[in-house]
Amino acid sequence: MTAVVLSCEHASPDLPPEFSTLFDTATLNSHRGWDPGALDLAQALAQTLEAPLFSGRWSRLLIDLNRSAHHLQRVPAKARLHPAQCATLHAETWLPFRRQVADAVAAAIRHHGHCVHLSVHSFTPVWQGHRRHTQLGILYDPNRAGERALAVKLKAQLAHATGLRVHRNQPYRGVADGHTTALRRNWEAPHYLGIEVEISQALVGDRGWPTRCRAICRTISGVLAPEAHSPIA
* pLDDT tens for each residue of 152-188: 999 999 999 999 999 999 999 999 999 999 999 999 9
CATH T-level assignment (fold) for domain 4-228: Aminopeptidase (3.40.630)
CB-based contact 67:73 (threshold 8 Å): yes
pLDDT cut 90: percent of the chain above it: 90
pLDDT in tens, 85-128: 999 999 999 999 999 999 999 999 999 999 999 999 999 999 88
Whether residue 62 has pLDDT greater than 70:
yes
Q: From CA 20, how far away is CA 14, in angstroms rounded?
A: 9
- Answer yes or no: is pLDDT of 143 > 90: yes
pLDDT band, very low/low/confident/very high, at 225 (cuts 50, 70, 90) = confident
| Domain positions in the chain | 4-228
Separation between Cα atoms, residue 196 and residue 180, nearest integer Å:
7
Which residues lie closer than 8 Å to 102 by C-beta, 6 or more apart?
Answer: 183, 186
Q: Sheet holding 53-55: strands in order across?
A: 53-55, 4-8, 115-123, 192-200, 136-139, 166-168
Is 141's pLDDT higher than 70?
yes
- Tens of pLDDT along 4-17? 999 999 999 999 99
Burial class (CB in 10 A: 0-12, 13-18, 19+), 202: middle
Q: What per-residue confidence (pLDDT) applies to 226?
A: 60
The predicted-structure confidence for 201-221, as pLDDT tens digits, reads as follows 999 988 899 999 999 999 999
pLDDT category at 1 given cuts 50, 70, 90 is low
Average pLDDT over all residues of the chain: 94
Read off φ and ψ for residue 193, nearest 5 degrees: -125, 110
